[in-house]
Protein backbone atom coordinates (compact mmCIF):
# COMPACT_ATOMS: atom_id res chain seq x y z
CA UNK A 1 0.00 0.00 0.00
CA UNK A 2 2.75 2.45 0.86
CA UNK A 3 4.63 4.55 -1.67
CA UNK A 4 7.69 5.80 0.18
CA UNK A 5 9.80 6.63 -2.85
CA UNK A 6 10.61 10.22 -3.69
CA UNK A 7 7.83 12.03 -5.52
CA UNK A 8 9.56 12.28 -8.93
CA UNK A 9 6.63 13.79 -10.85
CA UNK A 10 6.00 16.62 -8.42
CA UNK A 11 8.60 19.35 -8.66
CA UNK A 12 8.89 21.77 -5.77
CA UNK A 13 7.76 25.26 -6.55
CA UNK A 14 10.70 27.52 -7.36
CA UNK A 15 10.23 31.06 -6.13
CA UNK A 16 13.09 33.39 -7.09
CA UNK A 17 13.63 35.99 -4.43
CA UNK A 18 11.46 34.22 -1.83
CA UNK A 19 12.38 36.07 1.34
CA UNK A 20 11.00 37.33 4.63
CA UNK A 21 8.57 39.02 5.02
CA UNK A 22 6.76 36.90 2.44
CA UNK A 23 3.15 37.81 3.26
CA UNK A 24 1.54 41.02 2.05
CA UNK A 25 0.77 43.72 4.58
CA UNK A 26 -2.98 43.01 4.32
CA UNK A 27 -2.67 39.24 4.82
CA UNK A 28 -4.87 37.97 7.65
CA UNK A 29 -3.69 34.39 8.19
CA UNK A 30 -2.60 32.66 11.36
CA UNK A 31 0.56 31.56 9.53
CA UNK A 32 1.54 35.19 8.93
CA UNK A 33 1.09 35.97 12.62
CA UNK A 34 3.22 32.98 13.65
CA UNK A 35 6.05 33.39 11.15
CA UNK A 36 9.08 35.51 12.01
CA UNK A 37 12.48 36.09 10.45
CA UNK A 38 14.23 33.53 12.67
CA UNK A 39 11.75 30.74 11.84
CA UNK A 40 11.84 31.65 8.17
CA UNK A 41 15.66 31.51 8.04
CA UNK A 42 15.72 28.15 9.82
CA UNK A 43 13.14 26.49 7.55
CA UNK A 44 13.57 28.08 4.15
CA UNK A 45 16.22 25.66 2.86
CA UNK A 46 14.53 22.51 4.13
CA UNK A 47 12.36 20.13 2.16
CA UNK A 48 10.63 16.83 2.87
CA UNK A 49 11.22 13.54 1.08
CA UNK A 50 8.46 14.40 -1.40
CA UNK A 51 10.22 17.66 -2.23
CA UNK A 52 7.83 19.89 -0.27
CA UNK A 53 9.29 23.25 0.81
CA UNK A 54 8.40 26.13 3.09
CA UNK A 55 7.25 28.16 0.09
CA UNK A 56 4.99 25.30 -1.02
CA UNK A 57 3.48 25.25 2.47
CA UNK A 58 2.85 29.00 2.57
CA UNK A 59 2.03 29.63 -1.10
CA UNK A 60 -1.76 29.56 -0.77
CA UNK A 61 -1.70 32.02 2.13
CA UNK A 62 0.71 34.29 0.26
CA UNK A 63 -1.38 34.37 -2.93
CA UNK A 64 -4.66 34.70 -0.99
CA UNK A 65 -4.27 37.39 1.69
CA UNK A 66 -7.76 36.61 3.03
CA UNK A 67 -6.73 33.03 3.88
CA UNK A 68 -7.53 32.22 7.51
CA UNK A 69 -5.00 29.46 8.26
CA UNK A 70 -2.53 30.25 5.48
CA UNK A 71 -0.47 27.05 5.46
CA UNK A 72 -0.76 23.48 4.13
CA UNK A 73 1.23 20.30 4.76
CA UNK A 74 2.61 18.35 1.82
CA UNK A 75 2.98 15.03 3.62
CA UNK A 76 3.16 13.56 7.11
CA UNK A 77 6.82 14.60 7.31
CA UNK A 78 5.89 18.28 6.91
CA UNK A 79 4.62 18.45 10.48
CA UNK A 80 8.09 17.46 11.75
CA UNK A 81 10.30 19.24 9.20
CA UNK A 82 8.42 22.53 9.54
CA UNK A 83 7.18 22.14 13.11
CA UNK A 84 8.58 25.55 14.07
CA UNK A 85 5.78 27.15 12.04
CA UNK A 86 3.17 24.40 12.15
CA UNK A 87 3.12 24.07 15.95
CA UNK A 88 2.23 27.71 16.70
CA UNK A 89 -0.37 27.66 13.90
CA UNK A 90 -1.88 24.50 15.40
CA UNK A 91 -1.91 26.01 18.89
CA UNK A 92 -3.60 29.17 17.65
CA UNK A 93 -6.27 27.48 15.54
CA UNK A 94 -7.18 24.74 18.01
CA UNK A 95 -6.71 26.89 21.14
CA UNK A 96 -4.44 24.23 22.54
CA UNK A 97 -0.95 24.08 24.08
CA UNK A 98 1.29 21.51 22.39
CA UNK A 99 3.19 20.75 25.61
CA UNK A 100 -0.04 20.20 27.49
CA UNK A 101 -1.26 18.00 24.65
CA UNK A 102 1.96 15.96 24.90
CA UNK A 103 1.30 15.40 28.61
CA UNK A 104 -2.28 14.35 27.88
CA UNK A 105 -1.16 11.89 25.19
CA UNK A 106 1.56 10.48 27.44
CA UNK A 107 -0.94 9.98 30.25
CA UNK A 108 -3.47 8.32 27.95
CA UNK A 109 -0.77 6.06 26.50
CA UNK A 110 0.30 4.91 29.96
CA UNK A 111 -3.31 4.31 30.96
CA UNK A 112 -4.01 2.14 27.93
CA UNK A 113 -0.45 0.75 27.77
CA UNK A 114 -0.70 0.95 23.98
CA UNK A 115 -0.03 3.83 21.60
CA UNK A 116 -2.36 2.31 19.02
CA UNK A 117 -5.50 2.65 21.15
CA UNK A 118 -6.56 5.87 19.36
CA UNK A 119 -5.62 4.80 15.85
CA UNK A 120 -9.08 3.49 15.09
CA UNK A 121 -12.49 5.08 15.05
CA UNK A 122 -14.23 4.59 18.43
CA UNK A 123 -16.52 1.58 18.75
CA UNK A 124 -18.62 2.60 21.77
CA UNK A 125 -22.11 3.91 21.20
CA UNK A 126 -23.10 7.57 21.07
CA UNK A 127 -26.39 8.36 22.77
CA UNK A 128 -27.76 11.89 22.47
CA UNK A 129 -31.37 13.11 22.64
CA UNK A 130 -32.89 14.68 19.56
CA UNK A 131 -32.00 18.42 19.65
CA UNK A 132 -35.01 19.31 17.50
CA UNK A 133 -37.77 16.77 18.21
CA UNK A 134 -40.45 18.87 16.52
CA UNK A 135 -38.32 19.09 13.33
CA UNK A 136 -38.76 22.86 13.19
CA UNK A 137 -35.18 23.97 12.61
CA UNK A 138 -32.66 21.28 11.61
CA UNK A 139 -32.84 20.32 7.94
CA UNK A 140 -30.02 17.78 7.81
CA UNK A 141 -27.19 16.30 9.87
CA UNK A 142 -23.77 15.40 8.54
CA UNK A 143 -20.45 14.07 9.84
CA UNK A 144 -17.35 14.37 7.68
CA UNK A 145 -13.96 12.79 8.28
CA UNK A 146 -10.71 13.85 6.62
CA UNK A 147 -8.23 11.02 6.07
CA UNK A 148 -4.98 10.44 4.17
CA UNK A 149 -3.43 7.08 3.37
CA UNK A 150 -0.24 6.27 5.21
CA UNK A 151 2.94 6.44 3.13
CA UNK A 152 1.69 8.75 0.38
CA UNK A 153 2.29 12.49 -0.08
CA UNK A 154 -0.80 14.62 0.54
CA UNK A 155 -2.79 16.15 -2.31
CA UNK A 156 -0.74 19.36 -2.15
CA UNK A 157 2.42 17.46 -3.11
CA UNK A 158 1.36 14.19 -4.72
CA UNK A 159 2.32 13.07 -8.24
CA UNK A 160 -0.20 11.74 -10.74
CA UNK A 161 0.99 8.13 -10.46
CA UNK A 162 0.42 8.04 -6.70
CA UNK A 163 -2.88 9.89 -7.02
CA UNK A 164 -4.10 7.17 -9.39
CA UNK A 165 -2.81 4.49 -7.02
CA UNK A 166 -4.77 6.00 -4.13
CA UNK A 167 -7.93 5.99 -6.23
CA UNK A 168 -7.38 2.31 -7.06
CA UNK A 169 -6.70 1.34 -3.43
CA UNK A 170 -9.76 3.14 -2.06
CA UNK A 171 -12.12 1.85 -4.77
CA UNK A 172 -10.95 -1.69 -4.01
CA UNK A 173 -11.67 -1.17 -0.30
CA UNK A 174 -15.12 0.19 -1.10
CA UNK A 175 -16.04 -3.04 -2.86
CA UNK A 176 -15.64 -4.82 0.49
CA UNK A 177 -18.09 -2.58 2.38
CA UNK A 178 -21.17 -4.10 4.10
CA UNK A 179 -24.46 -4.36 2.20
CA UNK A 180 -25.94 -1.16 3.72
CA UNK A 181 -23.16 0.79 1.99
CA UNK A 182 -23.67 -0.66 -1.44
CA UNK A 183 -23.37 2.00 -4.10
CA UNK A 184 -21.33 3.13 -7.05
CA UNK A 185 -18.08 4.99 -7.63
CA UNK A 186 -18.30 7.84 -10.13
CA UNK A 187 -15.03 8.89 -11.72
CA UNK A 188 -14.96 12.62 -12.47
CA UNK A 189 -12.65 11.91 -15.40
CA UNK A 190 -14.95 9.39 -17.06
CA UNK A 191 -18.39 10.65 -16.03
CA UNK A 192 -20.21 13.92 -15.45
CA UNK A 193 -19.39 15.45 -12.09
CA UNK A 194 -22.28 15.28 -9.59
CA UNK A 195 -23.65 18.51 -8.12
CA UNK A 196 -21.72 19.65 -5.08
CA UNK A 197 -18.44 17.96 -5.99
CA UNK A 198 -16.65 20.78 -7.76
CA UNK A 199 -13.03 21.60 -8.41
CA UNK A 200 -11.28 23.11 -5.42
CA UNK A 201 -11.45 26.83 -4.68
CA UNK A 202 -8.69 29.39 -5.22
CA UNK A 203 -7.08 28.50 -1.88
CA UNK A 204 -6.75 24.87 -2.95
CA UNK A 205 -5.67 25.92 -6.45
CA UNK A 206 -2.80 27.93 -5.03
CA UNK A 207 -1.82 25.03 -2.76
CA UNK A 208 -1.51 22.65 -5.73
CA UNK A 209 -4.48 20.52 -4.73
CA UNK A 210 -6.23 20.98 -8.09
CA UNK A 211 -3.26 19.72 -10.08
CA UNK A 212 -4.22 17.13 -12.78
CA UNK A 213 -7.95 17.81 -12.26
CA UNK A 214 -10.19 15.85 -12.82
CA UNK A 215 -7.93 12.79 -13.21
CA UNK A 216 -8.05 10.35 -10.28
CA UNK A 217 -10.93 12.23 -8.65
CA UNK A 218 -14.33 10.84 -7.95
CA UNK A 219 -17.02 10.13 -5.42
CA UNK A 220 -18.56 6.95 -4.08
CA UNK A 221 -22.22 7.37 -3.13
CA UNK A 222 -24.30 4.73 -1.40
CA UNK A 223 -27.61 3.78 -2.98
CA UNK A 224 -29.53 5.02 0.06
CA UNK A 225 -27.89 8.46 -0.11
CA UNK A 226 -26.60 8.32 3.47
CA UNK A 227 -22.90 7.74 2.83
CA UNK A 228 -20.26 9.10 0.47
CA UNK A 229 -16.50 9.18 0.03
CA UNK A 230 -14.88 11.92 -2.00
CA UNK A 231 -11.49 10.75 -3.30
CA UNK A 232 -8.49 13.06 -3.80
CA UNK A 233 -10.06 16.35 -2.83
CA UNK A 234 -8.24 18.39 -0.14
CA UNK A 235 -7.29 15.06 1.46
CA UNK A 236 -7.12 11.57 -0.02
CA UNK A 237 -10.53 10.77 1.46
CA UNK A 238 -13.45 12.82 2.68
CA UNK A 239 -15.72 10.27 4.36
CA UNK A 240 -19.29 11.51 4.85
CA UNK A 241 -22.24 10.13 6.80
CA UNK A 242 -25.44 12.14 6.44
CA UNK A 243 -29.18 12.16 6.88
CA UNK A 244 -32.05 14.52 6.26
CA UNK A 245 -33.10 14.37 9.89
CA UNK A 246 -32.04 15.47 13.36
CA UNK A 247 -30.73 12.15 14.70
CA UNK A 248 -27.02 12.80 15.27
CA UNK A 249 -26.50 9.51 17.14
CA UNK A 250 -27.80 7.48 14.20
CA UNK A 251 -25.58 9.34 11.72
CA UNK A 252 -22.59 8.66 14.00
CA UNK A 253 -23.45 4.96 14.30
CA UNK A 254 -23.70 4.69 10.52
CA UNK A 255 -20.22 6.20 10.27
CA UNK A 256 -18.88 3.77 12.88
CA UNK A 257 -20.01 0.81 10.80
CA UNK A 258 -18.39 2.24 7.68
CA UNK A 259 -15.06 2.92 9.42
CA UNK A 260 -14.97 -0.55 10.92
CA UNK A 261 -14.91 -1.91 7.37
CA UNK A 262 -12.56 0.68 5.87
CA UNK A 263 -10.00 0.31 8.64
CA UNK A 264 -9.65 -3.38 7.83
CA UNK A 265 -8.38 -2.49 4.37
CA UNK A 266 -6.84 0.99 4.63
CA UNK A 267 -4.11 2.40 6.87
CA UNK A 268 -4.46 6.11 7.57
CA UNK A 269 -1.68 8.62 8.28
CA UNK A 270 -1.66 9.14 12.03
CA UNK A 271 0.57 10.64 14.71
CA UNK A 272 0.39 9.93 18.48
CA UNK A 273 0.37 13.67 19.22
CA UNK A 274 -1.49 15.24 16.30
CA UNK A 275 -3.91 12.42 15.54
CA UNK A 276 -5.00 11.90 11.94
CA UNK A 277 -2.72 13.91 9.67
CA UNK A 278 -4.36 16.19 7.11
CA UNK A 279 -3.34 18.70 4.44
CA UNK A 280 -4.76 21.63 6.40
CA UNK A 281 -3.80 21.78 10.09
CA UNK A 282 -7.35 22.85 10.93
CA UNK A 283 -8.47 19.22 10.45
CA UNK A 284 -5.81 17.54 12.59
CA UNK A 285 -6.82 15.30 15.48
CA UNK A 286 -10.11 13.57 14.85
CA UNK A 287 -10.35 15.02 11.35
CA UNK A 288 -14.04 15.26 12.13
CA UNK A 289 -16.51 17.99 11.29
CA UNK A 290 -19.94 17.39 12.80
CA UNK A 291 -22.53 19.76 11.43
CA UNK A 292 -26.14 20.59 10.77
CA UNK A 293 -27.97 22.69 8.22
CA UNK A 294 -30.33 24.68 10.36
CA UNK A 295 -32.92 27.37 9.60
CA UNK A 296 -32.82 30.30 12.01
CA UNK A 297 -34.97 33.16 10.67
CA UNK A 298 -34.86 35.19 13.91
CA UNK A 299 -31.13 34.80 14.54
CA UNK A 300 -30.50 35.59 10.88
CA UNK A 301 -31.55 39.10 11.85
CA UNK A 302 -29.50 38.94 15.06
CA UNK A 303 -26.23 37.54 13.78
CA UNK A 304 -24.20 39.04 16.61
CA UNK A 305 -26.16 36.90 19.09
CA UNK A 306 -25.63 33.83 16.93
CA UNK A 307 -21.91 34.51 16.63
CA UNK A 308 -21.61 34.94 20.40
CA UNK A 309 -23.31 31.58 20.95
CA UNK A 310 -21.04 29.91 18.42
CA UNK A 311 -17.96 31.31 20.12
CA UNK A 312 -19.19 30.13 23.52
CA UNK A 313 -19.55 26.53 22.31
CA UNK A 314 -16.53 26.58 19.99
CA UNK A 315 -18.67 26.23 16.86
CA UNK A 316 -18.08 27.44 13.33
CA UNK A 317 -20.81 29.19 11.34
CA UNK A 318 -20.63 28.97 7.56
CA UNK A 319 -22.86 29.94 4.67
CA UNK A 320 -25.59 27.69 3.34
CA UNK A 321 -23.25 25.97 0.87
CA UNK A 322 -20.17 25.90 3.08
CA UNK A 323 -17.16 28.07 3.78
CA UNK A 324 -17.06 31.51 2.18
CA UNK A 325 -20.62 31.23 0.81
CA UNK A 326 -23.63 33.39 1.59
CA UNK A 327 -26.46 32.45 3.96
CA UNK A 328 -29.57 31.76 1.90
CA UNK A 329 -33.14 31.64 3.27
CA UNK A 330 -31.72 31.94 6.82
CA UNK A 331 -30.15 28.46 6.52
CA UNK A 332 -26.78 28.17 8.28
CA UNK A 333 -24.16 25.44 8.21
CA UNK A 334 -23.03 25.10 11.84
CA UNK A 335 -20.32 22.68 12.96
CA UNK A 336 -17.69 22.03 15.61
CA UNK A 337 -14.49 24.03 15.28
CA UNK A 338 -12.07 22.10 17.50
CA UNK A 339 -10.89 18.69 16.28
CA UNK A 340 -7.57 18.28 18.05
CA UNK A 341 -7.23 17.37 21.73
CA UNK A 342 -10.78 16.03 21.99
CA UNK A 343 -12.42 12.74 21.06
CA UNK A 344 -14.94 12.01 18.34
CA UNK A 345 -17.66 11.70 20.98
CA UNK A 346 -16.68 15.07 22.45
CA UNK A 347 -16.97 16.65 18.99
CA UNK A 348 -20.55 15.40 18.78
CA UNK A 349 -21.43 16.42 22.34
CA UNK A 350 -20.02 19.92 21.73
CA UNK A 351 -22.14 20.44 18.64
CA UNK A 352 -25.23 18.95 20.30
CA UNK A 353 -24.97 21.20 23.34
CA UNK A 354 -24.39 24.27 21.21
CA UNK A 355 -27.26 23.53 18.81
CA UNK A 356 -29.67 22.95 21.69
CA UNK A 357 -28.70 26.35 23.10
CA UNK A 358 -29.02 28.05 19.70
CA UNK A 359 -32.48 26.56 19.12
CA UNK A 360 -33.56 27.83 22.54
CA UNK A 361 -32.27 31.29 21.61
CA UNK A 362 -34.13 31.18 18.30
CA UNK A 363 -37.39 30.36 20.06
CA UNK A 364 -37.08 33.01 22.76
CA UNK A 365 -35.31 35.95 21.16
CA UNK A 366 -37.26 39.14 20.44
CA UNK A 367 -36.76 40.87 17.12
Residues 16-31 have pLDDT tens digits of 568 998 999 999 999 9
Residues 305 and 229 in one domain: yes
Domain that holds residue 203: 138-364
The annotated binding site for ATP is made up of 140-144, 238, 289-293, 318-323
Residues 171 and 262 in one domain: yes
Residues 58 and 204 in one domain: no
Residues 96 and 143 in one domain: no
The answer as to whether 240 is a domain residue is yes
Distance CA 240, CA 109 (A): 29
Residues with Cβ within 8 Å of 165's Cβ and at least 6 positions away in sequence, in order, are 3, 152
Residues 242-261 have pLDDT tens digits of 999 889 999 999 999 999 99
Distance CA 209, CA 225 (A): 27
Do residues 140 and 294 touch, judged by C-beta distance below 8 A? Answer: no
Examine the fold and report which residue of 100, 125, 146 is the final residue of a domain before the chain moves on. Answer: 100
**93 SS3 class:** helix
The answer as to whether 166 is a domain residue is yes
Look at the chain and report how many structural domains it folds into. Answer: 2
Residues 60-94 have pLDDT tens digits of 999 999 999 999 999 999 999 999 999 999 999 99
Instruction: Give residue 213's pLDDT.
Output: 96
Nearest residue to 237 (alpha-carbon basis) of 310, 305, 298, 185: 185
In this structure, what CATH number is given to the domain that contains residue 306?
3.30.590.10
Residues with Cβ within 8 Å of 302's Cβ and at least 6 positions away in sequence, in order, are 365, 367
The annotated binding site is made up of 140-144, 238, 289-293, 318-323
Q: How far is CA 272 from CA 119, 265, 345, in A?
A: 8, 21, 18
What is the mean pLDDT, run by run of 10 residues, along the chain of 367 residues?
Answer: 46 65 94 97 95 97 96 98 98 91 71 51 88 94 97 97 98 94 94 86 96 96 95 97 93 94 95 95 95 95 93 92 85 94 93 96 88
Amino acid sequence: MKSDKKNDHYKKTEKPGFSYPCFSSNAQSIAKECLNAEIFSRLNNLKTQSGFTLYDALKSGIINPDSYVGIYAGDAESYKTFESIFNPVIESYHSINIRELEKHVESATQHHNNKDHVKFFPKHKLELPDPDPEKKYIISTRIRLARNLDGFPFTTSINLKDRLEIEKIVVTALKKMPFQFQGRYKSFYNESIPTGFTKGDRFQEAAGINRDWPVARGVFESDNGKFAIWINEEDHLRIISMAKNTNLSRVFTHLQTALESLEKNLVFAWDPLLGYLTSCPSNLGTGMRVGVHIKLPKLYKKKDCLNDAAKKFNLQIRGTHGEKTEVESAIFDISNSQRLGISEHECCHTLHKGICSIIEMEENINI
